């Protein structure tokens, strides 16, 4: 009995340390251990007073480095794809595609932030934002102030990314809640390819 108890003691000592891991370290671990991710999401936009002005739902896929796909499904359809070199935004209702170089969007696109490399600290200043709503939060602030948001909060539940909050320069907050998260699923590489449909306007570089 006693030898078994002695072997268990080091593990029991380590458990509280692992349970209270530094959220910044957790974010870095997310980049290192989660090269792929798939989830459903609900995106809610709140005004300065906290009033809901928009709510959309859809699915997302992530394949690092640099590849992501966000399919907005309700109440409107829109598609955002990062193919590793460019970011494509397709709006079927407007029959328009907007395209931008990926490297110019890393500091301004939350989707690009998630799909970035492990060197996230080159573009963002990271700090522990505490624990709230059973989530461990990390604040990421772009080092170059040329983007559309001031900072983003990432909430983790264990090893899984559970929520994001984007705070923009106009006082609006965009809350993205993830559900049915799949960590490191096998994804089809073709999902991250995009060719503008015939007849649509292509705007950008």
SS3 32: helix
Which residue, among 109, 98, 106, 64, has the nearest Cα to 83 in the 3D structure? Answer: 64
CA distance 181 to 203: 33
SS3 95: coil
CA distance 86 to 195: 12
pLDDT (tens digit per residue) in 163-172: 999 888 888 8
Phi, psi of 142 (to 5 degrees): -60, 135
pLDDT (tens digit per residue) in 66-110: 899 999 998 989 999 999 889 899 999 999 999 988 776 655 566
Q: pLDDT band at residue 114, thresholds of 50, 70 and 90? A: confident
Which residue, among 84, 92, 106, 111, has the nearest Cα to 189 in the 3D structure? Answer: 84
* Answer CATH for 23-196 from 2.50.20.10, 1.10.645.10, 3.40.50.360, 3.30.70.260: 2.50.20.10
pTM for the predicted model, two decimal places: 0.81
Q: Do the beta carbons of residue 63 and residue 81 sit within 8 Å?
A: no
Q: pLDDT band at residue 3, thresholds of 50, 70 and 90? A: very low
pLDDT of res. 170: 83
Please report, for the chain, the start and end positions of each structural domain, with discontinuous segments joined by +: 23-196
CA distance 143 to 122: 8
Find the mean pLDDT for residues 138-150. Answer: 78
pLDDT greater than 60 at residue 5: no
CA distance 68 to 86: 11
Find the mean pLDDT for residues 171-178. Answer: 91
């Amino acid at each position: 009995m006693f030898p078994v108890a002695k072997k268990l003691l080091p593990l029991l000592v380590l458990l509280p340390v692992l349970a209270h891991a530094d959220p910044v370290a957790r974010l870095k671990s997310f980049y290192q251990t989660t090269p792929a991710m798939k989830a459903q999401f609900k995106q809610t936009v709140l005004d300065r007073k906290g009033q809901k002005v928009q709510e959309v739902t859809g699915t997302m896929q992530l394949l690092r480095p640099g590849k992501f796909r966000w399919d907005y499904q309700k109440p409107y359809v829109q598609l955002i794809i990062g193919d590793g070199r460019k970011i494509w935004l397709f709006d079927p209702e407007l029959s328009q595609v907007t395209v931008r170089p990926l490297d110019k969007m890393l500091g301004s696109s939350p989707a690009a932030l998630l799909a970035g490399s492990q060197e996230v600290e080159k573009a963002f200043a990271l700090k522990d934002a505490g624990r709230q709503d059973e989530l461990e939060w990390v604040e990421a602030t772009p080092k170059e102030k040329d983007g559309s948001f001031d900072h983003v909060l990432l909430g983790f539940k264990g090893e899984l990314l559970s929520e994001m909050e984007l705070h923009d320069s106009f006082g609006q907050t965009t809350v993205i809640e993830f559900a049915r998260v799949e960590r490191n699923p096998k994804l089809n590489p073709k999902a991250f390819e995009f060719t503008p449909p015939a007849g649509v306007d292509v705007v950008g570089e």
